[in-house]
């Protein structure tokens, strides 16, 4: 019995000691509140504040303090705990601890937000240039009319005549318009790309990516993403190309350019003749589980580099069309079929997406 009374008196003494020095606790409170409001010099975010809080404070779990603040000694009189008060008022020390705990929770929440922000900042490869089927919006892409391009017909080996293309083998599903301080290689393999998103689903879609690297003080990348759902085996020429060696690929891949709207000098420089790209420019190939990426180094040829610089000078006023295909050399491979087309309307170099390291 006497032990209980001594314990109670000791508890009262502790509480009285806490109340007798409110100034010290309030002073501590004031410092904490000031730190919560004012940002550290030289910082524009809360990151510096949260780091400082972690450095100087080690906050225990709130349950330890909740239990202490809500427990009243058994011999506390009714005057000390009036019936009209349902819950005891938190002391200044408890308020201090509560705020420290809130600061800890706030930091955790901010850390989670930073992780989400990091994920959201992943470059959406395959969707950096806006799509506009009507091609009326500036700095946009759409599919070009296949009939604008001439291909080898079924009797080409006998008559050397070309015919208008009627359709494409693959569908254009995305275009990238990027800039960086270096060449952007093998973009199909990068996290966040449209290619990898389809691969994660485990579907049968196959992608054919043409990655054109345009030289300059700032390197620009123009990439086209074509997709097909039918098995490669159903298109023997494409199957052989995808699984062939680089020498075979360089001898077969063709590009047909076309400036449908723009300066006369640009139209004359670009022309409209099919070109075996691998015979003129340096190319690299990247084979993945569900894709083949072709990388074209436009800067590997003095002539091509000059044409590219000319095009960049008039870029905002041009409508450019392109078609890609695999050249057919035998009766069995004829007629040729376009892999895909693209129409680019008034590209703007300043609106290309910056690729961060």
How would you list the strands of the sheet with 319-326, edge to edge? 130-131, 140-142, 338-345, 319-326, 253-261, 275-276
What pLDDT shows up at residue 76? 40
Q: What is the pTM of this model?
A: 0.67
What pLDDT shows up at residue 77? 39
What pLDDT shows up at residue 262? 95
In whole angstroms, what is the distance from residue 285 CA to residue 153 CA?
28
- Cis peptide preceding 335, ω within 30 of 0: yes
What pLDDT shows up at residue 89? 52
Is residue 291 within 8 A of residue 208, CB to CB? The reply is: yes
Is residue 288 within 8 A of residue 195, CB to CB? The reply is: yes
Give the pLDDT confidence of 299-317 residue by residue, as tens digits: 999 999 999 999 999 999 9
Which position has the higher pLDDT, 255 or 136? 255
What is the average per-residue pLDDT within 256-275?
94
Q: Specify the residue for token string 């695999």.
A: 326
What pLDDT shows up at residue 94? 57
CA-nearest of 294, 290, 277 to 185 is: 294
Band of the pLDDT at 217, cuts 50, 70, 90? confident
What pLDDT shows up at residue 20? 45
Is residue 108 within 8 A of residue 313, CB to CB? The reply is: no
Domain ranges, ordered by start, for the chain: 2-120, 130-354
Average pLDDT, the chain: 77
Which position has the higher pLDDT, 133 or 55? 133
What would the two tokens of residue 87 be? 């819950």
- The 3-class SS string of 223-265 reads EEEEEECCCHHHCHHHHHHHHCCHHHHHCCEEEEEEEEECCHH
Give the pLDDT confidence of 45-92 residue by residue, as tens digits: 333 333 333 333 333 334 433 333 333 343 443 444 444 444 445 556
What pLDDT shows up at residue 43? 37
Give the pLDDT confidence of 11-37 residue by residue, as tens digits: 444 444 444 444 444 444 444 333 433
End-to-end CA distance of the chain: 72
What would the two tokens of residue 124 be? 């959406």
What pLDDT shows up at residue 315? 94
What pLDDT shows up at residue 167? 97
In whole angstroms, what is the distance from residue 24 CA to residue 18 CA?
10
Whether 154 shows a pLDDT value over 50: the answer reads yes
Give the pLDDT confidence of 167-214 residue by residue, as tens digits: 999 999 999 999 999 999 999 999 989 999 999 999 899 999 999 999
């Amino acid at each position: 019995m006497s032990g209980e009374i001594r314990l109670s008196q000791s508890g009262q003494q502790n509480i009285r000691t806490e109340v007798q020095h409110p100034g010290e606790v309030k002073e501590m409170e004031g410092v904490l509140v000031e730190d919560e409001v004012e940002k550290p010099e030289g910082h524009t975010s809360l990151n510096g504040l949260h780091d400082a809080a972690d450095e100087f404070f080690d906050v225990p779990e709130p349950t330890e303090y909740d239990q202490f603040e809500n427990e009243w000694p058994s011999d506390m009189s009714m005057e000390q705990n009036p019936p009209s008060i349902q819950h005891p008022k938190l002391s200044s020390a408890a308020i201090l601890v509560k705020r420290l705990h809130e600061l800890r929770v706030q930091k955790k929440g901010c850390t989670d937000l930073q992780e989400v922000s990091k994920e959201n900042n992943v470059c959406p490869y395959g969707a950096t240039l806006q799509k506009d089927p009507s091609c009326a919006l500036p700095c946009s892409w759409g599919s070009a009319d296949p009939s604008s391009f001439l291909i080898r017909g079924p009797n080409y080996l006998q008559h050397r005549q070309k015919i208008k293309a009627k359709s494409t083998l693959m569908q254009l599903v995305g275009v990238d318009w990027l800039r960086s301080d270096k060449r952007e290689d093998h973009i199909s393999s990068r996290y966040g790309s449209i290619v990898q998103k389809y691969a994660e689903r485990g579907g049968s879609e196959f992608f054919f990516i043409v990655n054109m690297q345009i030289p300059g003080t700032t390197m620009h990348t123009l990439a086209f993403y074509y997709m097909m759902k039918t098995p490669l085996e159903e298109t023997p020429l494409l199957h052989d190309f995808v699984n062939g060696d680089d020498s075979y690929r360089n001898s077969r891949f063709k590009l047909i350019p076309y400036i449908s709207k723009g300066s006369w000098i640009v139209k004359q420089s670009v022309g409209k003749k099919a070109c075996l790209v691998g015979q003129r420019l340096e190319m690299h190939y990247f084979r993945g589980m569900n894709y083949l990426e072709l990388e074209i180094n436009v800067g590997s040829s003095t002539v091509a580099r000059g044409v590219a610089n000319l095009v960049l000078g008039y870029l905002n006023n041009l409508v450019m069309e392109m078609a890609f295909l695999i050249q057919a050399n035998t009766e069995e491979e004829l007629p040729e079929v376009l892999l895909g087309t693209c129409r680019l309307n008034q590209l703007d170099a300043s609106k290309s997406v910056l690729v961060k390291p």
